[in-house]
Structure 1
Amino acid sequence: MKPGVDPGLVHHNGVNLVAIRLADDEVARALPPSEVIELGFETKRIFDKAQESQPWLPAPSAWAATATMFGTAGSAGRGMGSTQPSPSDTRACSPSLLGTRHCAETSTPGNDASAPVTTSDTCARVVPLQPMELKSALERRKQQTRTPYRADGWERALRDAGLEGEYGDVVLGLRHGFRVGFPQVGRTQAPRNSESVLANQGHFTKILFNELGKGRWIGPVSRRVMESVMGPFQSSPLSIIPKPTPGKFRVIQNFSFPNRPSSQYPLPSVNSHIDASNFPCTCGTFRATCLLISALPEGSQMAVRDVAEAYRTIPLHCSQWSAAVVQAGEDEFLVDVCVAFGSASSGGVYGLVADAACAIMRARGIGPVTKWVDDHPFFRVLRERLEEFNETRHRWQRMVEEGGRHQSRSRVWYGGGILPDGDVFEMFEDCTFALQDLSTACSCTGDDGRFAYCMADVDRVSEELGIPWEHSKDVPFSSKAPYLGFVWDLKQRTVSLSSEKAAKYRLAIEEWRRRPKHPLEDVQQLYGKLLHASLVIPAGRAQLVGLERALGNAYNSPFMLRHPPRSVGPDLDWWIARLQQPNLTRSVIIPEQLVDLQPFSDASTGTGIAIVIGGRWRAWRLLPGWRTRAGRKEIGWAEAVGFYFLVVAVTKLVSPGTHIRLYGDNEGVVRGWRNSRSRKSAVNGIFKLALDFLESVGFIGCIHCEYVPSGANPADAPSRGVYPSYDLLLPPIDIPAVLIPFVIDALSPLTSSKLGTADIECVETCGEDDSDGGEDAGVGDNGPDEFSALVSAI
């Protein structure tokens, strides 16, 4: 490599790529040697270098009393102003910065300046700060944080509600900044930004000036100036991605860079120093939302509000700044003084503030209310049903008192008791405060007057605290509203995946399949989308095991391109077909009790399978060679087949939608069913059969499995060939085509054809738990997971 050439730049197919570093051996191996060219490349500057010959006026800071202005520009008002360039001004503007000439002047501390409206035919400049100017700007920020929240209002509200002990750190953080776990930096490390910043330079520039105008980025300065004021610093590569709203983009700081330290980048990543469990907060999870909606009285409504630029409203403590520097261009650095997207602690730090806001709302009688990051769903009940629902909340409060407060990694939840469906009771609050009828204390009229509160009550508290709602995203109160990426229907008590979201996920699958090999990030993105969809489509959980194997294969070599396991192909076929269905909806009802018909299943390795329902029985014999035909199978597979037969039998005895308890003595099957999938390929294939069957007959999420010891399992004896009276036989069950080569009804004769190999290819494998293909198994192998392939084909 030539002296002075950045080793992190490569030339690939005629395009200069930034932030692909040859120090990463895996990336280097992914590119042919002929496409790695050692040549210099000058990164575009965002800001022009300061030149004494140019009549610039000084700029103490992005919020100082003296504006940053062109010598030829007219005076500007407060905040971010804009002027048209003078016709006589012929100085060259940075080609990388598209926008209006403007000044960034300090507004009153605590008030945000507006970002300029940018156009594509003019240029913008900001003068780099000198050492004393940067030092002065940072000292001012230490004295006065920049946040829309009103710390005095929070202090009063928390004190009045008796919550100052639980949330006192919020007030301290709003006044002085939050410590987020960033390390003290011993040497400067400043990697280049992602290529996406150059590819979306116009959008990046708009974001940059928005951050400057709102006083959240302070600068720009050279590396020399930054080090002279702050000492050594660490920046993390920036990237820019589109938001769901067309035309809007989000900047992400890759605080996880480098993936591992190297000679070029010896400092570990900022995120490697952070334990997210030290920054816990509550979340309105899918399960908790189902539990709440299931219990809401008839006629209840839901609204949703979104906090504007949520993370960016949270100030950083000055001790964190040296690890929060951002690089805007060649030798152009700024100090980020607010929480950023990409830090492992950002969600928890913002979440603590949002938790405190929700707690204050509840103390004022507003609710139920919860949140997922910046989305806040508000629920309200009819005044006439308020007492009834408060009784439900009081019952939940007792359950919370018994179960206590829990923390799972970085999530806080309350409860702990086991509900009838076998899952844990979990709530996002402790239900201490009763809901109040606020209708007489506000100006709510019309339909709002029928309910316990309205948005005017929320607005009063929000004004007191300074909560910056993004009102363009408000979803008004109704029986139906979006939340967590789903559409919730309180009247029908259902949750749906919208047709738009389903189409988006189908497109993601199609794009993913255009490439034969994928790095870890590709697998993560597709897996995350389909895992999200499986909350509404529970049968999809078993169709993700192949992608889970791909995640495991790629974990230690995240940049290496790998073939996915062979089972991923049929799984994605299933997903495409399912996402094309017009109505992707499921019930959210959490049952208060389960129907117990005393249904049991069991299997015996040497004999067969049996089910017992209320003393009546049915049995099947395992055919010779079942263990090795179409892939090696263990007893867990036979137990899963028995469970499938039991599912088919019990659903014929009750109406659709009935929640039923089943019993089995195989812990792997019971535990796997609770997770809707098994890592054992053969067992997972049976789960796929069962889940698809339940969807087809209207029992989505209605089968709940419980473990029972073998000695207490009445299906144990008939599974070993010890049959009860034939007078107690259950009706026969149609055996799916995929299972015919393996089992036969115990009352059917065992013919010579059944004793043979059956009309199916026998394939020996090294074990049912082995990888079902992918990079490690070799491309083109005729799969070890023949049974799962058969299930998918059926």
Structure 2
Amino acid sequence: MSNPQSIDKCDTPVSEHGGSDPISLVEDVIPPSLVPSIEGNSQIWPSAVKCEMDIPAWHLALDKAGLLPEFDDVITGFRNGFPQGIPPHSLGETLPYFTPPNHASAWEAKDKIEEKLQKEILAGRMFGPFTHDQVQEKFSFFRSNPLGAVINGDGSLRPTNNLSFPHGNPQIPSVNSFVDPNDFPTTWDDFNVVSSFIRNIPHPVSFAIFDWEKAYRQIPTAMDQWPFLFIKTFDDKLLLDTRITFGGVAGCGSFGRPADAWKQIMLHEFDLITIFRWVDDNLFVKNIDSQTRMEDIVARSNELGVKTNDEKFSPFATKQKYIGFIWNGIDKTVRLPNNKLIDRINQLKAFASKANFSYNDVEIMTGRLNHVSYMLPQLRCYLCSFYRWMKSWVVKTALRELPDDVRSDLERWMHTLLTFKPTRLMPNPAPTEIGWVGDASTGFGIGILIGHQWAQFQLAEEWLQRRRHAGGIAWLETVAIRLGLLMLESLGIKQGKTFIVWTDNTTTENAIRKRKSKDHAVNEEWKIIQDLLVKLQADLEPRRVNSEGNVADGLSRGERDGHDARHIVPVVMPLDLENLLFQVLF
């Protein structure tokens, strides 16, 4: 195969037949070299890497921003294509190619995938279709990777190219098995990164959205990678894909490098606080009085060749939808869009009413609930049963009934989504140390310290008469968590925080992590605690302290020495506890 020929934006590839007049289409402009392929005549192979970026403009912008030589590889990638880490290889003389069938999930999304493939051909990012014999004339060995469709976090389908197929076959290693992901690093800004950063800005901000049009499809791959990146059509033809694809180990890094470079250029040229990036979605953040306009950012990006998705582009505003949530830059709150919350509730109802479930049904619902759990981290424990269920699914095509533990967790999800306050203060997942430690004893009761504030609770006669109260010490230790939260509420809890709780009880430590126990009474108590955590917009992180170092130990045994009565925190006892415990105030 010949060495890659570099071309800048101004160099238009021409047909081997000398054609030079581009044909305007709805999506893009077709390179003349592609016209015979579309019309079904003799197949034309690309003779060079094609890239829509204005490479000289990129080089100048990076240079002015002081980003060279840091991003030299981006300029090289635009010119010669980005390497995907795939070495030259074959599968032996008896196997000149490997073109497995597409996955069943691809056939379910056949119309959508074929529509996308046609657009890629018309835009000059894919070439073909070719027969196997035609491809063999070009490459001594080549392979395609099965098309499929995966579930996004919001439950939607995304066509993919499975470069990890086949799995566990030493005779036929997958394309991805050759690639080291550490060679393709990039930056990601998930919900927790965005939430923590914005929450800590002391003044109002406004947001704007920039979505890279076609994202991965704007980034070319190196020509020596092409033999290993073919796509098999639904009629057993082959398409030569010249752009990075979803499904490749190197894809995130290959797109991420130019995306990171573009982000740094924008931060250098415009008055911005920061830019958050999640694949092709970008959240611009600026001070509310900044004069920066998104229209200027779009115009500048267009000069570089970076296009935005008009349907997802949004100008600066104090409220903005990003990664499926509505962010408020004044109140520093986050919520699900109203229609999305209603959708999730209705989807839960429909899901719970089904008699049998496919693996795909469960995967979609798990993805949807996982997305919600970013805003409601207290509910993550109610996803574990879903993941256990999917992990136990041996035959993915088989239908299965709803397990009891999943049904129970569905009820918790439904209960919370119907009752919680939908607008939440942006959570800070970083654990906060407040000196919270608790202890319990069946001989006296419960002691809790939060810094120098404290409370002591004595077991009532009714509990003493039922010394074998369901749950025993495990239940008491769990009640201590609830009473500690009520102390925080009385002290004026700061919402959105994750608080560290110290305990000397291994069972309690594990229960705080899992929010579940094999003990029925403890489980029932945790349901109450979870509701309280959602109400207070708080979360917990357990830490272990040895018994000798537990400063609440004396309080739990009835001792009060060394504790100033002025620092007692009065707690209104919940109705379900008032006959079992009472607070010692004097």
TMscore range, shorter length: 0.7 to 0.9
More divergent stretch after superposition (524-533 vs 542-551): 542-551
Encode CA deviations 1:233-276: one digit per residue, 9 max, x unaligned.
2212224689999xx985322333334439xxx52433344443
CA distance in 1, matches of 2:59, 2:569: 68
**Which residue number corresponds to residue 64 of structure 1?**
15
Amino acid at match of 2:58: W
Residues 1:284 and 2:189 are matched in the alignment: yes
1:220 and 1:333 in contact (8 A); partners too: yes
Counterpart of 1:471?
310
> Structure 1 residues 81, 652: closer, same or farther in 2, change over 3 A?
closer
Cα distance change on mapping 1:331 and 1:525 into 2, 3 Å: closer
Match of 1:715 among 523, 544, 552: 552
Aligned to 1:170, the other structure's residue is in SS state helix
**C-alpha displacement at 1:674, in angstroms?**
8.2
Relative to the length of structure 2, the TM-score reads 0.80
CA deviation after TM superposition for structure 1 residue 160, in Å: 2.5
Match of 1:191 in 2: 100
Kept after mapping to 2: 8 A contact 1:154/1:465 = yes
Contact 2:496 2:537 in 1 (8 A): no
Cα distance, 1:350 vs. partner? 1.1
Give the superposition deviation at 1:583: 5.2
Q: Contact 1:63 / 1:104 at 8 angstroms: preserved in 2?
A: no
In structure 2, give the amino acid aligned to 1:745.
L
Q: Does 1:296 align with 2:209?
A: no
Q: Give the superposition deviation at 1:662.
A: 5.7
Q: In the alignment, which residue of structure 2 is the partner of 1:72?
A: none
Q: Secondary structure at the match of 1:148?
A: coil
Structure 2 CA distance for partners of 1:196 and 1:357, relative to 1, 3 Å: same
Q: Does 1:148 align with 2:52?
A: yes
Residue in structure 2 matched with residue 482 of structure 1 by the alignment: 321
SS at match of 1:694: helix
User: Displacement, 1:715?
Assistant: 1.5
Q: In the alignment, is residue 642 of structure 1 matched against residue 495 of structure 2? A: no
Q: Distance in 2 between matches of 1:603 and 1:744?
A: 14
User: Does the C-alpha gap of structure 1 residues 616 and 298 become closer, same or farther in structure 2, counting only changes over 3 Å?
Assistant: closer
Correspondences of 1:210-609 after superposition (within 5 Å): 210-239=119-148, 251-261=159-169, 267-296=172-201, 298-367=203-272, 368-382=274-288, 450-513=289-352, 515-518=354-357, 520-554=359-393, 561-580=399-418, 584-588=422-426, 596=434, 599-604=436-441, 609=446
Query: Structure 1 pair 591/583, CA: closer, same or farther in 2 (3 Å)?
Result: closer
Letter in 1 for 2:160: I
Code of the residue aligned with 1:207 in structure 2: it is K
> Per the alignment, in what secondary structure is the counterpart of residue 70 of structure 2?
helix
Q: Aligned partners of 2:553, 2:322: CA distance in 1, in Å?
A: 46
Q: Aligned partners of 2:29, 2:508: CA distance in 1, in Å? A: 62
Give secondary structure in 2 for the equivalent of 1:164: coil
1:649 deviation in Å?
Answer: 3.0
Q: How does 1:101-112 map to 2 (within 5 A)?
A: 106-107=31-32
Residues 1:180 and 2:79 are matched in the alignment: no
1:504-530 superposed Cα distances (whole Å, 9 cap, x missing partner)? 323443454455554555433322211
Which AA in structure 1 matches 2:480?
G
Q: TM-score, normalised by structure 1?
A: 0.61
Counterpart AA for 2:553: D
Cα deviations by residue, 1:33-62 (Å, 9 ceiling, x for unpaired) = xxxxxxxxxxxxxxxxxxxxxxxxxxxxx9
Gap regions ≥5 residues in structure 1: 1-61, 69-75, 83-101, 116-123, 383-449, 749-794
- The answer to whether the Cα contact below 8 Å between 1:547 and 1:564 also exists between their aligned partners in 2 is no
Q: CA contact under 8 A between 2:431 and 2:541: conserved in structure 1?
A: no
Alpha-carbon deviation of 1:624?
4.3
Q: Is the CA contact 1:271–1:343 (under 8 Å) kept in the aligned structure 2?
A: yes
The aligned length equals 554
Encode CA deviations 1:293-327: one digit per residue, 9 max, x unaligned: 22335442111111111011111112222221111
Match of 2:560 in 1: 724
State the AA in 1 paired with 2:447: A
Match of 2:410, SS state, is helix
CA distance in 1, matches of 2:290, 2:533: 38
Deviation at 1:730, TM superposition (A): 6.4
Residue aligning to 1:700: 537
**Alpha-carbon distance between aligned partners in 1 of 2:192 and 2:149, rounded to the nearest angstrom:** 32
The one-letter code sitting in structure 1 at the alignment partner of 2:328 is D
Structure 2 Cα separation of the partners of residues 499 and 249 of structure 1? 22
Task: Return the letter of the residue paired with 1:305.
Answer: F
What is the CA–CA distance in structure 1 between the aligned matches of 2:98 and 2:159, rounded to whole Å? Answer: 20
Deviations 1:389-446 (A, max 9, x none): xxxxxxxxxxxxxxxxxxxxxxxxxxxxxxxxxxxxxxxxxxxxxxxxxxxxxxxxxx
C-alpha distance 603-166 of structure 1, shift in aligned 2 (>3 A): farther
- Percent identity reads 25
Query: Residue type matched to 1:284 in 2?
Result: D
Give the match for residue 753 of structure 1: none
Contact 1:369 1:376 in 2 (8 A): yes
> Partner of 2:23 in structure 1?
79
Residue 6 (structure 2) aligns with: none
Gaps in structure 2 of 5+ consecutive residues: 1-12
* CA apart distance, 1:459: 3.4
- Aligned residue for 1:302, secondary structure, equals strand
Cα shift at 1:560: 5.4
- Using CA pairs under 8 Å that are at least 6 residues apart, name the structure with larger relative contact order, 1 or 2: 2
| Aligned equivalents of 1:79, 1:681: Cα separation in 2 | 68
- Pairwise CA distance, 1:672: 6.2
Is the partner of 2:437 in helix, strand or coil?
strand
Point out the structure with max Rg over C-alpha: 1
Does the Cα contact within 8 Å between 1:617 and 1:730 map onto a contact in 2? no
Change (3 A) 1:545 1:207: closer
For 1:582 and 1:644, how far apart are their aligned partners in 2?
Answer: 18
Q: Is the 8 A contact 2:440 2:553 kept in 1?
A: yes
Question: Distance in 2 between the 1:241 and 1:524 partners?
Answer: 10
Q: Once the 2 structures are TM-superposed, how far is the Cα of residue 128 of structure 1 from its aligned partner?
A: 6.3
Q: What letter matches 2:135 in structure 1?
A: M
- Which of 318-327 and 248-257 deviates more? 248-257
